[in-house]
Homo-oligomer: A and B are copies of this chain.
Amino acid sequence: MYDNDTYMPKLKETARANLENLYRIFTVPEAPDSTLGSIDQAISDDVSGFLRTHIVALERTIEDIEADFLATEIPEEPTFVSEYTDFVKEKLVAQSVHTAAPGFVGHMTSALPYFMLPLSRIMTALNQNLVKVETSKAFTPMERQVLAMLHRLVFQRENEFYPEWTHNSQHALGAFCSGGTIANITALWVARNRLFSPDGDFKGIANEGLHRSLQYIDSQGLAVLVSHRGHYSLGKAADLLGIGRDNLIKIETDDRNRIDMSRLKRKLSQLQKDNIRPLALVGIAGTTETGNVDPLDDMADLAQELGCHFHVDAAWGGPTLFSDTHRGLLKGIERADSVTLDAHKQLYIPMGAGMVVFKDPTALSAIEHHAAYILRQGSKDLGSHTLEGSRPGKSMLVHAGLSIIGRKGYELLIDMGIERARTFASQILKNKDFELTSEPELNILTYRYCPEWVRQSFSNLDTKQRCRINVLLDQINQLIQKYQREAGKTFVSRTRLRTRDYGKKIITVLRVVLANPLTTDEILDAVLDEQSEIITRPEIQTLLNRIKDLVDSTKNDLP
């Protein structure tokens, strides 16, 4: 079996040329004027050119683009790097969405600080694996430091706390994750496992599973409670953790998209009668769709009273804590048991960086795990307290952001975003064609096309008539969003929302997220101008005429 003489020559003869090519691609080019060096430079130039061109995307239908990605056989023969980069340039870069464009205000991706590019290159080249110290070395203390900094931002524990816990070999103050979804799942996983920790003969839920755990406390199920504005990742968490989506109880909101505390309390009484145990209350600090913040202090009081876990999903709004002016909006977050933060949102880190931090530095023990070859007891390996296994050194980019931008720089970004949202809201309020459907509390707002004459007519209409008009308005707003996206100059997103003015009716609204510091008031004016222009299209005019007919017909009905 171990005789190479029979095997190696064959391999060597047939593949010597290929082997040499292979070695070459694994070797760092010696000089910038080598082939790979110049390709590297050309790619950098190309990306720069793309980033400087402030367009959102050239519209081609997705089916049209798919034509370039139909082959399902893995290419048999190798391709030259230069040939492949031409493909990337034409078929991918030119057909990607310019998420950093100042007119791309529809989703939570923004421009990146330019220094993230060379630093990401270092991160990629070093290829550290944060699961264990043996494959990450200095990156492990660096990540622990970043977790401690964010922990401190949120929980403001005393000075003595941090030296004891930051680099503690038994514990971690939080977990780096690929995003907010894993962070939220980790938080609820910890909450579940702490509720059912080992106790006498009962070995804990981690070992015995959910079924026996519920039998052990003689309960019919667990519930997680959050407002209707809760992120969809919470539904995934309820499913994954075996709790069930039916037991993710969604509570109605008040007229500012914040959880209705009296309804929450009523629901909790009901659950008690049904012998369902409340596992966690989830507060939202910056709802995905409207940017509102739940009454976190009230929720903390209630969670304390119930003795249940209090998680705050601050994936969006967490960095508001940087701002002296606006920090108060998140009052109560320091009383949470766990808090989710997304670094790829308002910390301006490239995609794929979330975090969850826990007030109690021993909380993550509830999901601790070990293996024979790594994550040994007492090691400082971060992998023993994360849902994920092998992970890249993304925390380095958070470290860079915190260091280079600093607390005051982030404060400025937060303040600017909130200010910009207020300015845009005032523009919408002044515009007779549009209706503001949620006022910005942070830097997100929603609105819709709904001309003043339609709004004025509503008071004379009955529910059924309003409903018919709203259905037509929904179609118009869908078309506005679609045509604007296709034109590729600017981009807003759309969602469906229950707003105070239309009772229980859900309407389609346009959504704007203002986190890109390069977005100006002039660009936002252009967004509205473009929408006003789109409204003149015949397809939309036809729908508008149907609304006019409806309004007119009711006028005729009047005595």
Contacts and interface: CB of A to CB of B under 8 A. Distances in A.
Chain A contact residues: helix, strand, loop or mixed? helix
Nearest to A14: B412
30 contacts: A18-B408, A26-B112, A26-B518, A40-B118, A47-B126, A72-B148, A75-B407, A78-B405, A78-B406, A87-B403, A92-B396, A96-B136, A109-B127, A117-B124, A127-B351, A134-B491, A180-B389, A180-B390, A203-B246, A209-B238, A209-B247, A210-B242, A210-B243, A211-B214, A211-B221, A239-B367, A240-B240, A350-B392, A352-B352, A373-B495
B391 A179 contact: yes
B129 A107 contact: yes
A309 B316 CA distance: 38
Given A2-B429, A70-B167, A75-B402, 10 more contacts: A1-B439, A21-B409, A43-B119, A66-B167, A69-B167, A85-B118, A97-B134, A209-B242, A209-B244, A212-B244
Interface in A220-274: 220-222, 232-233, 235-236, 238-247
Q: How large is the interface on A (under 10, 10 to 19, 20 to 34, 35 or more residues)?
A: 35 or more
A148 B8 CA distance: 34
A240 B239 contact: no
Interface centre among A7, A142, A511 (most CB of B within 10 A): A142
A487 interface: no
Interface in A79-110: 79-81, 84-85, 87-88, 91-93, 95-97, 99-100, 106-107, 109
Contact of A207 (B29, B133, B246): B246
Interface in A187-237: 189, 193, 203, 205-212, 214, 220-222, 232-233, 235-236
A153 interface: yes
Interface centre among A44, A244, A485 (most CB of B within 10 A): A244
Contact of A369 (B62, B235, B373): B235
Given A390-B179, A392-B351, A75 B26 contact: no
B26 A113 contact: yes
A479 interface: no
Interface string A2-45: 11100110010001001101110111111000001001100110
Contacts of A30: 52
Given A419-B7, A423-B4, A138 B65 contact: yes
B126 A208 contact: no
Contact of A115 (B81, B121, B246): B81
Q: Which 4 pairs across A and B sit closest by C-beta, in order of nearness?
A: A242-B242, A209-B244, A2-B426, A210-B242
Contacts of A351: 127-129, 390-393
A419 B189 contact: no
A112 B26 CA distance: 6
Contacts of A495: 372-373
A496 interface: yes
A68 interface: yes
Contacts of A391: 178-179, 351-352
A124 B120 contact: yes
A57 B137 contact: yes
B25 A114 contact: yes
A96 B126 contact: yes
Contacts of A496: 372-373
B419 A244 contact: no
A95 B128 CA distance: 11
